[in-house]
Structure 1
């Protein structure tokens, strides 16, 4: 049993358990892809046998940031681009929690891009969902890091002169050990991918295509999509880094040509997570910090004293 008594408890839970009583109805714009993320996240938690007390959802700023308001669990609404460092701290302190971080493409790939790189590099054991609608939605339609070249917006009235970033390749180069792309129009696949991402031991990066009908009317609605695992046109080994990289490049290129490829792109098994490596080298205590604080027989002491001071 965990320090939190609810963790590991045998309870029957359905998706209604993840619907909060305070703010049960999401207020995103009609047609927004964010509704699909909320629905599939609830379903994924049920399929994994989780209850709300076993989950921490950390969000940033933007339309995606409201996810934690509409999802019943422990939640932390951080500042712009900072959901990952908060999630990392929670994972290190209490590894029994199911930690999910979420942010938009501007939040995650722009303002919080440095955190994305180093969280993936260190392979923290968590799931990171990036709502990718190729626009800054909450702040009313500015060009984002994933907006296609030539896209016109309030900040780029003559069209963006920059090529968009390639999220899948970025995650691979940074060191993520599970990388997938899904879309709001494919809830079945999205649920399966989120379950796999949370089951994965290490940093799981899910690029979730979410249409924005209000501020990005020029963007495709991400249909029709092709599941690369179901299509005979694409054969590659998700466990082979080189083959995954080639498939990711083709996928990100085709996205802005109107062809939507989704699925699992890279899975690396057996690589220790950040916490595991730190424990192996004696830089983290074997007993999680949160359990030491909840142990009635343990002597209370500041976190700085839980490890020997650096010499």
Structure 2
């Protein structure tokens, strides 16, 4: 079975199919929130009936970068902050692939921040999961873009002097059409949010709170948490951009005050994805380029299938 014949093959998929035989047991630290991401992703893909052969998982550098070693699908372990451009290229070459990009808060909001903004702006049809533990974990606890002000680390021994970024607000402002936050301590919500993100046509951003018990004692376990969809106190229309912006602002303030809010914040089902826009303009072929090369082996240039400029 090729990656192309597997796409669209509807069947029941067991969660265990996403556990690789070479490295089945993750080696993250005990209590790490990354286990929660892996479990939620496996559960979501199984319930959606996705085959491992029709999924591409692109990861960055960091503890989160090991995700595609522990998740059996096509994978690409990119360099620091570059999971999104690789994911975008793969989706353009083969629109039938379910493309997931993943990285940490340093990888995604720091080093790869520019890619994040423009991938959201262009609304590429993919899901981006950011493991947000408010610290650089793999390199032993340096301050990250989401570390709270005053947080002490090897790079800020007297306390972080910088105000942390607002990832949800930044995502909305940049143009993401699905924005949510979940946490490793809320596995059922995490699975459902990842399912929704994958099903959404457009750029889905999931800020996933993942506790780091080794290098970030301040964040603890991100509990207790409040699901905003289950609370009357936070009742708002997720399709209303202004209401979503207000809810995000409150959520981002609350996290550093010890109050963890999670849930869906913004959903735009009407905006076409980048791939849809390109196809409507005749700038993206109906048949995936990757499939063309796979079938006949004859490489084509863009000017062979796109009309030249007048």
2:19 is aligned to 19
Counterpart position of 1:177: 177
| Paired residues of 1:2 and 1:8 also in contact (CA < 8 A) | no
Q: Helix, strand or coil for the counterpart of 2:263?
A: strand
Shift of 1:11: 3.1
SS at the partner of 1:118?
Answer: helix
Q: Which residue of 2 aligns with 1:31?
A: 31
Structure 1 residue 309, shift from structure 2 partner: 4.5
**For 1:195-239, what per-residue CA distance to the aligned partner results, in whole angstroms no more than 9, with x for missing partners?**
000000000000000000000012231100000000111111100
Structure 2, unmatched stretches of 5+, are none
Q: Which residue of 1 aligns with 2:276?
A: 276
Using the TM superposition, name which of 281-290 and 61-70 deviates more. 281-290
Q: Provide the rounded CA distance (Å) in 2 between the counterparts of 1:10 and 1:103.
A: 29
Residue deviations 1:58-102, cap 9 Å, x none? Answer: 000000000000000000000000000000001111111110000
Pick closer, same or farther for the CA change 1:304–1:68 going to 2, 3 Å: farther
Structure 2 residue matching 1:4: 3-state secondary structure: helix
Counterpart of 2:61?
61
What corresponds to 1:301 in structure 2?
300
CA drift of 1:295 comes to: 3.5
Kindly indicate whether the alpha-carbon contact (under 8 Å) linking 2:91 and 2:97 is maintained by their aligned counterparts in 1: yes
Q: How is 1:138-287 mapped onto 2 (pairs within 5 angstroms)? A: 138-287=138-287
Whole-angstrom distance in 2 between the partners of 1:24 and 1:310: 51
Measured after TM superposition, the shift of residue 291 of structure 1 is 2.5
Q: What is the Cα deviation at residue 288 of structure 1?
A: 2.0
Q: CA 1:121–1:2 in structure 2 vs 1: closer, same or farther (change >3 Å)?
A: farther
Distance 2:271 2:260 in 1: 30
What's the secondary structure of 2:43's corresponding residue?
Answer: helix
Q: Match of 1:264, SS?
A: strand
> Which residue does the alignment assign to 1:90?
90
- Residue 56 of structure 1 aligns to a residue whose secondary structure is strand
SS in structure 1 of the partner of residue 251 of structure 2: helix
SS at match of 1:282: coil
Q: Secondary structure at the match of 2:146?
A: coil
CA distance in 1, matches of 2:143, 2:236: 33
Partner Cα distance (2:261, 2:54) in 1? 33
Paired position in structure 2 for 1:51:
51
Structure 1 unmatched ranges of 5 or more: none
Structure 1 residues 140, 310: closer, same or farther in 2, change over 3 A?
Answer: farther
Q: State how far apart, in whole Å, the 1-side matches of 2:64 and 2:303 are.
A: 34
How far apart in 1 are the matches of 2:124 and 2:74? 19
How much does 1:51 deviate? 1.2
**Residue 299 of structure 1: how far off its partner (Å):** 5.1
User: How has the CA–CA distance of structure 1 residues 137 and 256 changed in structure 2, closer, same or farther, with 3 Å as cutoff?
Assistant: same
| Alpha-carbon distance, 1:304 to partner | 5.8
Cα distance between partner residues in 2 of 1:181 and 1:220: 17
Q: d(CA) in 2 for partners of 1:31 and 1:59? A: 21
State the match for 2:106 in structure 1.
106
**Partner SS, residue 172 of structure 1:** helix
TM-superposed deviation, 1:289: 1.2
> How many residues matched?
310
> Quick check: which one's helix share is greater?
2
**More displaced, 59-68 or 219-228?**
219-228
